[in-house]
A and B are shown apart, each in its own frame.
Chain A
Amino acid sequence: MADRPSKDAPAPNKDDSQKRQKDMIADHFDKLSRSKADGKKVVYTFVPGNLTELLLALDLLPVLPEINALQSGMRKKSGGYIAEAEKAGHSEDVCTYVKCDIGMIKSGNIGPTGQKLPEPDLLLLSYTGCFTFLKWFELLQHEYNCPVVMLHVPYQPDGVATPAMREYIVEQLENEVIPALEKLAGKKLDYDELSRRLALSRIAEDDLVAVWESAKHTPSPIDGYFGGVYYIGPIFSSFRGSQDAIDYYRLLRAEVEERIRLGQGPTTPDGRMDEQKYRLVVEGPPNWTSFNDFWHMFSKEQAVVCASTYTRVGGLYDQGFRHDPSQPLESLADYCLGCYTNLGLPSRIDLIEKYVREYNADGFLINSVKSCNSFSAGQLLILREIEKRTGVPGGFIESDLVDPRYFGKANIENRVQSFLQMLDARKTRMINAPMRSGPAVHV
């Protein structure tokens, strides 16, 4: 079968919005590299439950180690970084985001743009469903000997955020997080500035939701997983609550709406996918080390992902949540509570079922990653339950976030193709009646 060699797999997205995002990121890393000279303070934090508006309101610069790790994966650096971390004694079973980050630090802490990352002045541990976050920042604290402030977000086992949970988070923000950040910034938090930033977030969030929901069209103008991970870049990292984010999402939304108008599909490694044979919902993070190869396995079969849960780990905006400038701290608390990583299995199943139905999916696929216990636990149960509730066939593949050793290309491709062919066979039931009911035969 004709296939594109992996080294030739083209960069998948060359839309204007993508170029703009690249410039935004370059600018941010420039600022980070100059931070010490500019007298700016740097806070390392996590994507789920991030408090970017709060940091920006205090003129602090965020660094997101998860994003650095996935970027290292995409730039084929993670294998070496993980080996560094293992050399330093970290077990093969440790989350590979963590090992990649530790290895990157030990290799000079050069970020995705090739510039050196500044050391953190504070570690803001937003604990949102991932147990590993605790240990990760414990390691970074040893490495940098800087203060850590923790925001504990109560887990939502049954999907209900109670007033007590919200109050608990607000209290932590008021009594621990904000004082620590103010101390670092050397100034008091201006609540009007925080509200202004939350109002900016809201505008970008509206546009992002419009982008997600565009995938309800046929053909879908976006890929909500492989393309989607680019779309979440600004809002899940350092740009939520900034004018840059608003401009980016406005541009992205306009591109998507234009594609709808023209009946076009998204840009993929195989060109623009106007013909879409399969519409999928995907659960689980993508593999980053062979990202384009992984996407290519779907795009060459004309499979588009119309919705994914990974693109909701940094906020479930399409389920109605918006940051609210009129009650800033409560709104940040609600945001943290509602992140996908903080939801128990019943809520995750309900959400996926909704996606399968609302996006009119032909199939549901799980990419179960070795690194991530909080994401991967219970995924087979999710698979069975979604099949039972919707009748839509499920598929299961296994890989990892950034450890290249756990991406078995032939095996994964075999599973993806088998899954898609299973969808075909079940859709069309291309079986001749005489054979179906025919008697057993001798081989």
Chain B
Amino acid sequence: MQTQTILHSTPDVRAVLAAAMPSGAMEVTVGIDLGSTTTKAILLDTSGQIVGRGITNSRSNYEVAAAVAREEALTAVRFSLLGRVLESAGQAAQQLAEPLTEAFRLELYMGELAALRSEILGLLEKPGHAAHRAALQPAAEAVLDKMAQTASSLFGPGAGRKSDFFRDLAGAAYVAEAEALANVKGSGVPFERLVGLYDRAILDVETRLESRDFGVLLEKAAMHVLPVGERASWLREVVRAVGSSRIAEVAFVGTGYGRQTLPFPKETVRSEILCHGRGAHRIFPGTRTVLDIGGQDTKGIQVDDGGVVTSFQMNDRCAAGCGRYLGYIADELNLGLHELGPLALQAKKQVRVNSTCTVFAGAELRDRLALGQRREDILAGLHRAIMLRAMSILARSGGISDQFTFTGGVCNNPMAVKVLRELVAQTYGENITVNTHSSSIYMGALGASMYALDDHHAGRGGILPTFAQG
């Protein structure tokens, strides 16, 4: 990936960084949204600009998830700094930002892959695997070797990854390689057991806390992508300076389903209803009504012209019709969550589904399939059922009379968005603006970070929780 790049200017790195960080450190506020499915972090600089974001699977371990999302967001802040310095050196330098980021991600991936290897080999040492160790161990090592060899194809400009989660990327690669190996005639590779090893090992890899030295990793990544020749030393200086620059987290707010389970100081906890309302309003300032569908909550929220919540309604203790429902349906159909919406869009008709009960999701689906109905059509009906329930919550919160914004993980599902648009138009008229955003999942973390910034400006910042540290 190394290229010959001509840099027309090489401004003083320290001066550029000093301009970006007058206090000698990059001051950021941290907002963390501990969702039941994913944990998100948003970092704002003191002017309120978003400088970093991170996301990870919650997997019931909120402490690790919060630390990982925050770490990822801090990494993004450094890349944001890196971008500013490179920008100051002109277009050619700026174009290096993406390959550097991708190379850095590859480094991270390789680190996690090494951890996965160590977990899997550790599992194979356990007595439970004794009977199959002889067949499993070489197979597992072959799969992991192949994954390491092909990892670089997942990264690089335009690699088009389907997901940024290690679990998803490595899982897909592992299964593909394991399948290829098992399919070789006479290989004797026990495919199910091989995949079972991954499923078990990934839980520990995901909940592992590893310290990440940004500077070291970036320098490693830079070796692969930085141009050789003239000005190379300037670029290395940029990398070193950004890698070692100080980031000061001046205020923190935690929100989301898991906020109560972490030892966050009471003053730093905000309800996700307030945070989602405010985050959505920040992105779409005309917003007066917000629908947030997360893993186990559906919320209808009304906000005023400052993004402050004026009224809200949410589902009661039952998670019917929430994101988790779609998760169960995806599991039942052996599909990825992201595949549900596109499949439902292929429906020829909508099967009428009345139950959005998460507990009965599987039964409902199997009943319909047994009746000979197409799964695309059933999925279309399921999406409609969810959205009808959301419409009821919205109505109870006060309805929609002005700009409307849809947030939360379910917002990434195109069928959910389509059905919602139709229902909003039918119920509240064609003139309602329906906003969706590819980063809707971050709205809660954004709102949290905004509240943290309020605290900072009000002199109440600096209340940082004791995070799990790598």
A139 located at the interface, meaning its Cβ lies under 8 Å from any Cβ of chain B in the complex: no
**Residues from chain A with Cβ under 8 Å of B316 in the complex:** 398, 408, 411
How far is A430 from B396 in the complex, measured between Cα atoms in Å? 27
Knowing A430-B454, A436-B306, A438-B48, the reply to whether A418 touches B312 (Cβ < 8 A) is yes
Q: How large is the interface on B (under 10, 10 to 19, 20 to 34, 35 or more residues)?
A: 35 or more
| Residue in contact with A426 in the complex, picked from B42, B50, B310, CB distance below 8 Å | B310
State which residues 384-437 of A face B: CB under 8 Å.
384, 387, 393-394, 396, 398, 406-408, 410-415, 417-418, 421-422, 425-426, 429-432, 434-437
| Residue in contact with B48 in the complex, picked from A387, A425, A430, A434, CB distance below 8 Å | A434
**Residues from chain A with Cβ under 8 Å of B453 in the complex:** 432, 435
B273 touches A422 (CB 8 A): yes
A432 touches B317 (CB 8 A): no
Min Cβ gap A310→B in Å is 20
State which residues 322-339 of B face A: CB under 8 Å.
none
A422 touches B309 (CB 8 A): yes
A side interface size, CB within 8 A: 39
How far is A406 from B317 in the complex, measured between Cα atoms in Å? 8
A2 located at the interface, meaning its Cβ lies under 8 Å from any Cβ of chain B in the complex: yes
B285 located at the interface, meaning its Cβ lies under 8 Å from any Cβ of chain A in the complex: yes
B458 located at the interface, meaning its Cβ lies under 8 Å from any Cβ of chain A in the complex: yes
Residue of B nearest to A431 (CB): B306
Knowing A417-B271, A441-B283, the reply to whether A1 touches B266 (Cβ < 8 A) is yes
Knowing A1-B259, A435-B282, A443-B437, the reply to whether A422 touches B48 (Cβ < 8 A) is no
**Residues from chain A with Cβ under 8 Å of B191 in the complex:** none
State which residues 413-439 of B face A: CB under 8 Å.
437, 439
| Residue in contact with B274 in the complex, picked from A2, A396, A422, CB distance below 8 Å | A422
State which residues 43-81 of B face A: CB under 8 Å.
47-50, 53
Knowing A1-B260, A443-B439, the reply to whether A411 touches B314 (Cβ < 8 A) is yes
How far is A440 from B269 in the complex, measured between Cα atoms in Å? 25
B313 located at the interface, meaning its Cβ lies under 8 Å from any Cβ of chain A in the complex: yes
Knowing A408-B317, A431-B307, the reply to whether A443 touches B446 (Cβ < 8 A) is yes
**Residues from chain A with Cβ under 8 Å of B315 in the complex:** 411
**Residues from chain B with Cβ under 8 Å of A93 in the complex:** none
A418 touches B274 (CB 8 A): yes
B251 located at the interface, meaning its Cβ lies under 8 Å from any Cβ of chain A in the complex: no
Knowing A422-B273, A429-B306, A432-B453, the reply to whether A438 touches B282 (Cβ < 8 A) is yes
Most chain B Cβ neighbours within 10 Å, of A414, A440, A443:
A443
Residue of B nearest to A405 (CB): B317
| Residue in contact with A432 in the complex, picked from B50, B263, B454, CB distance below 8 Å | B454
B50 touches A442 (CB 8 A): yes
Min Cβ gap B403→A in Å is 12
How far is A394 from B312 in the complex, measured between Cα atoms in Å? 9
Residue of A nearest to B397 (CB): A396
| Residue in contact with A440 in the complex, picked from B262, B263, B285, B308, CB distance below 8 Å | B285
**Residues from chain A with Cβ under 8 Å of B278 in the complex:** 431
B50 touches A443 (CB 8 A): yes
How far is A410 from B269 in the complex, measured between Cα atoms in Å? 15
Most chain B Cβ neighbours within 10 Å, of A387, A426, A432:
A432
| Residue in contact with B310 in the complex, picked from A393, A421, A434, CB distance below 8 Å | A393
B270 touches A421 (CB 8 A): yes
A160 located at the interface, meaning its Cβ lies under 8 Å from any Cβ of chain B in the complex: no
Knowing A3-B260, A421-B274, A422-B274, the reply to whether A432 touches B309 (Cβ < 8 A) is no
How far is A411 from B316 in the complex, measured between Cα atoms in Å? 7
B446 touches A425 (CB 8 A): no
B284 located at the interface, meaning its Cβ lies under 8 Å from any Cβ of chain A in the complex: yes
Residue of B nearest to A3 (CB): B260
**Residues from chain B with Cβ under 8 Å of A443 in the complex:** 42, 50, 53, 283, 437, 439, 442-443, 446
B residues with a Cβ closer than 8 A to A are 42, 47-50, 53, 257, 259-260, 262-266, 269-274, 278, 282-285, 297, 304-318, 396, 398, 437, 439, 442-443, 446, 450-451, 453-454, 457-458
7 interchain residue pairs of minimum CB distance? A408-B317, A418-B271, A443-B439, A418-B273, A411-B317, A430-B454, A425-B308
